[in-house]
Amino acid sequence: MSKIIIEGGRKIQGELRVGGAKNSVLPIMAATVLNGKINIVHDIPKLSDVEVMSKILRAVGCDVKRENGTMIIDSSKLDNHRIPEELVREMRSSIVFLGAMLARCGETIVSYPGGCEIGPRPIDLHLKSLREMGADIEEKHGFLICTTKGLKGCDIQLDFPSVGATENIMLAAVYAEGTTTIRNAAREPEIRDLQQFINAMGGNISGAGSNTIRIDGVKELREVEHTIIPDRIVAGTYLTAAAMTRGEIVLKNVIPEHLQSTIYKLKESGCKILYTHDTIKLVAPNKLHAIESIKTLPYPGFPTDMQSQIMALMTISDGISIITENIFENRYKHAYELIRMGANIKIDGRVAIIKGVPKLTGATVTANDLRGGAALILAGLVAEGTTIIENAKHIERGYDHIEDNLKFAGAAIKKM
């Protein structure tokens, strides 16, 4: 079981480059099965989730090679429509193979997905939408047995702007007969990146980034080369690290437009932030201010994936902050670990009330999920003494060598 050990009290400062976005890489890797040809994808981060996706691709017959940050995926020899159960259970994002495999093979068998335990994340929107397109889906013994004699375009109204459902519909609709329209679609930047990838291989998708996406079915796709967009959550985490440690940081390879809700809240806490088209500079204040209200919402609202990190920031801010978690109902497990480090946090359902304290103290804590683990790292950076974060494998799902990057920026941190 991996651990991260931090000696607190050092400023995070200097320059860091942000790599490719986890939430963009995973659906794009699933999309590589569509063309049955060569896919070259650049700026792939080294994450355990990426490794799981690679294993799934190999299990269905694809050839996957990695050369530093570039992955070459040849899906021409795909010969298996069953996704291994043990891999699906490791990672929720694997459910996007459902739409991609239905489009390519006309059939697939997938178990219900796993992932971080942050509350119910039903896939009923995925299944309902695919059924509307003509998929026959039988749920039996924990498996989804999916077949189709040919998907057909249709109008789909999502009850909630689900990222995963939007991606699955986009993937399934690439070869569907006619036009598929998704209304109340997710608007995340990663959806736009998936559109750009599919269109680069010859797909016909428009509207990603808005709440209405249109997919016109095509007959054939070609080889493709694509570079993944920068990870806005990793960027937000490093900005928060500098803010908490009273540091100063410049992030390179970022898209500030994707981080506006996070930037706004960091400014509210007293940080000075300047940016160009692909860099962000943060200068922390001597004293952090409480943020009166933070409510997680679908993009472009404040991201649920930054809620844990901003809570860590608020634990040492001057005043009382209130966070309302509107996306996942069980995403406060990190709060109880922060309390072990001296934080003053009260949880009432989906609401967290944080009263800033003068300091945190090092303790042995446990990472229960990916972003909660990142929050514990941030807390450890400012805590007095030594912080040991157990079960750090969760953090490896979404951060490419975070301990090395923070060490480069001045932290006393190591992984064991």
Q: 3-state class of 126 per DSSP?
A: helix
Helices 163-173, 97-105: crossing angle, 10 deg rounding: 10
Specify the pLDDT at position 94: 87
Three-class SS state of 90 = coil
What is the model's pLDDT at position 133? 98
CB of 244 closer than 8 Å to CB of 316:
yes
Q: What is the pLDDT of residue 334?
A: 97
Locus of tokens 């103290």: 361
3-state helix, strand, coil in the chain (%, to 5): 35, 30, 40
Lowest mean pLDDT of 36-40, 83-87, 140-144, 195-199, name the range.
140-144
Query: pLDDT per residue over 317-336, tens digit each?
Result: 999 999 999 998 789 999 99
Closest by CA position to 80, among listed 53, 100, 107: 107
**β-strands 3-7, 205-206 pairing:** unpaired
With beta carbons less than 8 A apart as the criterion, state whether 297 and 265 touch.
no
Does 222 count as an annotated binding residue? no
Span of 112-126, 199-213, 246-260, 325-339 with lowest mean pLDDT: 112-126
Q: Which pLDDT tens digit goes with each residue over 218-232?
A: 999 999 999 999 999
**Strand-strand pairing, 13-17 and 248-252:** parallel
Cis link prior to 303 (omega < 30° from 0)? no
Element (H, E) at 293: strand 293-295
Annotated ligand binding at 125? The verdict is: yes
| Alpha-carbon separation of residue 376 from 26, 49, 258, 333, 414 (angstroms) | 25, 20, 24, 11, 14
- Percentage of residues in the chain having pLDDT higher than 70: 98
pLDDT the model gives residue 88: 87
Q: What's the pLDDT at 143?
A: 87
| Token couple for 109 | 């068998």
CA distances from 304 to 141, 184, 233, 255, 353 (A): 32, 19, 10, 19, 16
265 is in an annotated binding site: no
8, pLDDT greater than 90: yes
Please check whether residue 176 is in contact with residue 151, taking contact to mean a CB–CB distance below 8 angstroms: yes
Residue 48 or residue 122, greater confidence: 48
pLDDT tens, position by position, 340-395:
999 999 999 999 999 999 999 999 999 999 999 999 999 999 999 999 999 999 99
User: What are 16's strand-pairing partners?
Assistant: 251
Answer yes or no: is pLDDT of 28 > 80: yes
Averaged over 189-193, what is the pLDDT?
Answer: 98
Does residue 116 carry a catalytic annotation? yes
Residue 98, annotated ligand binder? no
Across-strand partners of 348? 351
Residues in the chain: 416
Give pLDDT, residue 123.
Answer: 87
Of 230, 260, 411, residue with least CA distance to 402: 411
Task: Give mean pLDDT, residues 28-55.
Answer: 97
Amino acid (1-letter code) at residue 106? G
Is residue 118's pLDDT more than 70? no
124 appears as a binding residue in the annotation: yes
- With bands split at pLDDT 50, 70 and 90, how would you rate the model's confidence at 119? very low
Maximal CA-CA distance, the chain? 64
* Contact criterion met (CB below 8 Å) for 280 and 273: yes
Average pLDDT on 282-292 reads 97
Q: How does pLDDT run across 154-172, given as a tens digit for each residue?
A: 999 999 999 999 999 999 9
Q: What is the pLDDT of residue 68?
A: 92
Residue 29 pLDDT more than 90? yes
Q: Binning pLDDT at 50, 70 and 90, where does residue 114 land? A: low
Residue 122 has pLDDT above 90, yes or no: no
How far is 327 from 331, CA to CA, in rounded Å?
A: 9
23 labelled binding-site residue: yes
At 357 the pLDDT is 98
For the chain, how far is it from start to end, CA to CA, in angstroms? Answer: 9
Band (120; pLDDT cuts 50, 70, 90): very low
Q: What rounded mean pLDDT belongs to the chain?
A: 95
What pLDDT shows up at residue 290?
A: 98
Which candidate in 116, 146, 154, 271 is catalytic? 116
* Beta-carbon-side half-sphere exposure of residue 142 (alpha carbons within 13 Å): 8
Q: Are 211 and 1 within 8 A, CB to CB?
A: no
Query: Over the stretch 248-266, which tens digit does the pLDDT of each residue have?
Result: 999 999 999 999 999 999 9
Please report the domains of the chain, with CATH numbers, ordered by start residue. Answer: 3-19+230-415 (3.65.10.10), 22-217 (3.65.10.10)
